[in-house]
Amino acid sequence: MCTGAILLFGVKRVVMGENNTFVGGEDLLKERGVEVINLKSQECEDILRKFITEHPEQWDEDIGK
C-alpha cells in the first residue's frame, strides 16, 4: 500500500517485511503518527530481489521509473 493511501485511509500501523530493496515514505508516515514496524525479513528480501531480477520492467513501472 502506498504512503498516500495509508495516510488517506487513516491506517494506524504498517508492518513491512523489509526495506533494503526499496525505501518508501517511512519517515513521512512516522511524522504523521503511523506506527511503522520493519520485520527485516531475509525471506521477504529474497522474494522481492527474485521478482526484480525476473520482472525488471514491472518493477520499474511500479516504482515510477
Regarding predicted confidence, which is higher, 59 or 35? 35
How high is the pLDDT of residue 34? Answer: 98
Task: Please give the domain boundaries of the chain with CATH numbers for all domains.
Answer: 3-62 (3.40.140.10)
* Residue pLDDT, tens place only, 29-45: 999 999 999 999 999 99
> Position of cell 511500479?
62
Kindly provide the b/e burial profile for residues 10-44, where b requires at least 16 CB atoms within 10 angstroms of the residue's own CB: eeeebebbbeebeebbeeebeeeebebeeeeeeeb
Three-state DSSP class for residue 35: strand
pLDDT band (50, 70, 90) for residue 53: very high
- Report the pLDDT averaged over residues 22-32: 94
